[in-house]
Amino acid sequence: MSNAKISEYPFIIRHLSNEEGDGYLIEFPDLPGCMSDGETIDEAIENGQDAIKAWIEAAKETNRVIPIPGELESQSGKWVQRVPKSIHLRLVNRAREEGVSLNTLVIAMLSESLAGDGKRRSHHQNKLQTKVRTR
């Protein structure tokens, strides 16, 4: 991946409070979990470029998909899903127990599931390869 492509990833910068250590935080929405910081905005951006490189390298090592810069912006983020009343009630109760909104709970559950998906897929692929070899 060239530096030109790396510099095309959209980012969000916000000032960190004194409690958070001051300075600036940079996040890259297209690359989940990719963030860095710096004492100045310029330093945060420079450190962010290093964070992108590290994120992409880790993605390659684990065979994860590397999003195209700006890809997330083309998605609405809106998704409507009908569920049985019993599941809806269970989700509402769980959200209440966790002290979060239903939306936040479902996003967290989906994120956790997707994060573990690569491990499950690798395990499943290994089982299939083992079956093929033993035949």
* Residuewise pLDDT in 10s, the chain (135 residues): 444 467 888 899 999 988 888 999 999 988 989 999 999 999 999 999 999 999 999 999 999 889 888 877 666 667 778 889 999 999 999 989 988 888 888 888 888 888 776 555 555 455 555 445 544
Sign of CA dihedral 66, 71, 77, 81: negative
Helix axes 102-134 and 85-98, enclosed angle (nearest 10): 110
Q: Residue 99's pLDDT is what?
A: 87
- Quick check: helix, strand or coil at residue 125? helix
* Burial class of residue 67, CB neighbours in 10 A (0-12, 13-18, 19+): middle
Between CA 73 and CA 67 the distance in angstroms is 11
Distances (CA, A) of 11 to 19, 23, 56, 124: 23, 16, 15, 35
Global pTM reads 0.53
Q: Residue 3's pLDDT is what?
A: 45
Is 40 in contact with 77 (CB distance < 8 Å)?
A: no
Residue 13's H or E segment, with its range, is strand 12-15
